[in-house]
């Protein structure tokens, strides 16, 4: 609500500041009158740090004006129109169109979260705005619900406040350790000061989508130190309300900016959801293939070879350089946390005691995946998903073909091979995975056993898949060290009753580290089938794709 009559004055001989309508860390926003053109406008009076020297203040003012003029060149229906940039009494002002309506934050506060369709609509409009800005070399750097306006008459989504009061290229953490910006919506690489690019704005959009769907940022904590720890280190748990567009949210909240979902693909997936009403699938063929850098181009899988542990790959110059980059990033993230905790009066050592900071940080741990044929793992309690037994049995012959080979209606996507198993089933597995039979269970493992796809067949059990999975969940702490966050969901696989089990655990050794498991169990043709995927918590995005492909292409011979 504006304050009429307070400090009414005219700036630049033209703009009369009529009422204050907003205040924030960047300054004050006024409803004003352009007396030359006779129209209502919004004027942002930018605040500056009074502790700066005259020369520092001059440089900051010049950089701010330069960036404001760059934003003024942008033309997009979802970007605020900047009419003018003026200086009055050595203070810069940004003159913008006046939007009749509140912010997205106001809407959430007054009416609560929005549904998935509205969130997708908002997301598409913001992606269009960001795409236009990024194409012109302009970064937003402070994308959050408070900086998104909703026009009252048209429900137009308008992105405002393009980090105008921040110095271009500045890091998020100042030299004193205090925080500049909105930490709940700031990407990990900006926290560390490693880089700031278009990908950082896309991370912020992912956090914003979680907020509009649930009413709260997934990184909200009670302190600055807690927020920084949540962004950089903690498992990322999108809210349950994000399930209809979960692939988009997970893709945007990918900690590694090089693997983050790009704007064009995110917009395509959201449009697919609006058009079909179904959860979009990240394609595994040509186009956006986020997992391909982690899937070695395969040698064919030969099941008649004796089961063996895959040797570690010899590091190449490229992988060595990548490891060096990750190492530097880990050091910088740790340093950023220490600086931020010191500024907030929080012990970084205490917060990091149970989590290592590595190159990518632990990736997003999924919230419940969609309960459909393509999601859902589960396994009988007698099995331990992802852990091969110590005594392998002789391997039956398995032929894995290239992705062009089909089995009935099933086809292996690009980058996968179709495994025809002598045990009476087939499924698509990533090229380069090795088949390792372990008694009644069959494993397909990536080099080093980082990713493990497991399959088990058995006679039907009393109570069906749901009872089996609930029993497995109950036994989880005894079968999987550090078992936590177990969830069992009743679902279907095709027309067959099924149950989905998902959980996180500590792995079978310290070296292996925390893992996440997806597990689907169902009955079909008088048999019970169980398919699961186990992977490090930092690689659940790839694991989810492998799991979806395995379940979707699974066929009984």
Rg value, the chain, Cα? 27
**325-334: long-range contacts, CB 8 A cutoff, minimum separation 24:** 325/359, 326/358, 326/359, 326/360, 327/359, 328/194, 329/189, 329/192, 329/194, 329/359, 329/360, 330/357, 330/358, 330/359, 332/192, 332/193, 332/194, 333/188, 333/191, 333/192, 333/194, 333/232, 333/357, 333/361
According to DSSP, the residues that pair with 216 across neighbouring strands are: none
What share of residues in the chain are helix, strand, coil (percent, to 5)? 35, 25, 40
Please say whether the beta carbons of 443 and 435 come within 8 A: yes
Residue 550 structure tokens: 């395995």
Please say whether the beta carbons of 237 and 537 come within 8 A: no
142 is catalytic: yes
End-to-end CA distance of the chain: 68
Tokens 């086809």 found at: 411
* 538 contact partners, CB below 8 Å, separation of at least 6: 255, 358, 360, 361, 362, 363
Q: Which of 18, 125, 142, 235 is catalytic?
A: 142
Q: How many CB atoms lie within 10 A of CB 511?
A: 6
Q: Which residues are annotated as a binding site for ATP?
A: 44
Q: Which residues are annotated as a binding site?
A: 44
Please say whether the beta carbons of 39 and 28 come within 8 A: no
CB hemisphere CA count around 520 (13 angstroms): 31
* 79 contact partners, CB below 8 Å, separation of at least 6: 71, 129, 132, 133, 158, 159
According to DSSP, the residues that pair with 528 across neighbouring strands are: 458, 523
Q: Which stretches of 215-262 are DSSP H helices?
A: 224-232, 246-252
Please say whether the beta carbons of 540 and 363 come within 8 A: yes
> DSSP character for 163?
S
Triad 211, 216, 220: Cα angle to 5°: 115
Classify residue 54 by burial, with Cβ atoms within 10 Å: 0-12, 13-18, 19+. Answer: exposed
Please say whether the beta carbons of 412 and 555 come within 8 A: no
Please identify every residue annotated as catalytic: 142
């Amino acid at each position: 609500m504006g304050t009429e009559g307070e400090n009414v004055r005219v700036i630049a001989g033209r703009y009369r500041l009529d009422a204050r309508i907003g205040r924030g860390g960047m300054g004050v926003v006024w409803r004003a009158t352009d007396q030359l053109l006779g129209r209502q406008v919004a004027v942002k009076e930018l605040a500056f740090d009074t502790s700066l020297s005259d020369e520092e203040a001059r440089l900051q003012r010049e950089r701010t004006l330069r960036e404001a003029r760059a934003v003024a060149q942008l033309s997009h229906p979802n970007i605020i129109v900047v009419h003018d940039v003026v200086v009055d009494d050595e203070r810069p002002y940004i003159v913008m169109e006046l939007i009749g309506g509140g912010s997205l934050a106001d809407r959430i506060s007054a009416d609560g979260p929005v549904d998935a369709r509205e969130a997708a609509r908002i997301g598409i409009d913001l992606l269009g705005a960001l795409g236009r800005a990024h194409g012109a070399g302009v970064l937003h750097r402070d994308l959050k619900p408070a900086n998104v306006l909703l026009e009252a008459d048209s429900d137009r989504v308008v992105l405002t406040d393009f980090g105008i009061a921040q110095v271009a290229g500045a890091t998020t953490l100042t030299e004193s350790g205090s925080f500049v910006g909105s930490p709940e919506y700031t990407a990990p690489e900006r926290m560390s000061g490693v880089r700031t690019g278009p990908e950082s704005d896309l991370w912020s959009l992912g956090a914003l989508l979680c907020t509009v769907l649930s009413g709260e940022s997934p990184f909200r904590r009670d302190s600055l130190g807690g927020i920084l720890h949540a962004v950089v280190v903690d498992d990322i748990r999108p809210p349950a309300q994000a399930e209809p567009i979960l692939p988009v949210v997970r893709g945007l909240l990918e900690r590694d900016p090089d693997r983050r979902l790009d704007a064009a693909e995110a917009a395509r997936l959201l449009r697919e959801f609006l058009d079909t009403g179904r959860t979009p699938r990240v394609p595994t063929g040509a186009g956006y293939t986020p997992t391909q850098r982690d899937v070695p181009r395969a040698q064919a899988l030969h099941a008649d070879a004796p089961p063996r542990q895959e040797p570690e790959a010899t590091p190449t110059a490229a992988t060595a350089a990548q490891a060096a980059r990750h190492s530097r990033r880990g050091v910088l993230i740790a340093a950023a946390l220490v600086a931020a905790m010191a500024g907030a009066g929080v012990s970084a050592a205490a917060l990091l005691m149970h989590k290592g900071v590595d190159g990518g940080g632990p990736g997003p741990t999924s919230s419940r995946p969609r309960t459909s044929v393509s999601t859902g793992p589960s396994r009988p309690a007698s099995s331990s998903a992802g852990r091969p037994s110590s005594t392998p049995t002789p391997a039956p012959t398995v032929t894995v073909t290239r992705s062009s080979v089909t089995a009935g209606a099933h086809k292996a996507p690009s980058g996968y091979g179709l495994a025809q198993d002598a045990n009476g089933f087939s499924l698509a597995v990533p090229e380069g995975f090795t088949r390792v039979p372990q008694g009644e269970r069959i494993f397909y493992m990536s080099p080093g056993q980082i990713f493990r796809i497991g399959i088990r067949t058995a006679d039907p059990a009393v109570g069906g898949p749901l009872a089996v999975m609930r029993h497995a969940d109950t036994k989880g702490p005894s079968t999987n060290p550090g078992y936590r966050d177990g969830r069992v969901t009743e679902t279907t696989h095709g027309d067959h009753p099924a149950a989905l089990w998902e959980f996180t655990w500590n792995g079978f050794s310290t070296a292996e580290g925390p893992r996440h498991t997806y597990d689907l169990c169902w009955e079909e043709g008088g048999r019970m089938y169980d398919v699961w995927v186990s992977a490090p918590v930092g690689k659940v995005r790839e694991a989810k794709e492998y799991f979806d492909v395995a379940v979707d292409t699974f066929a009984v011979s």
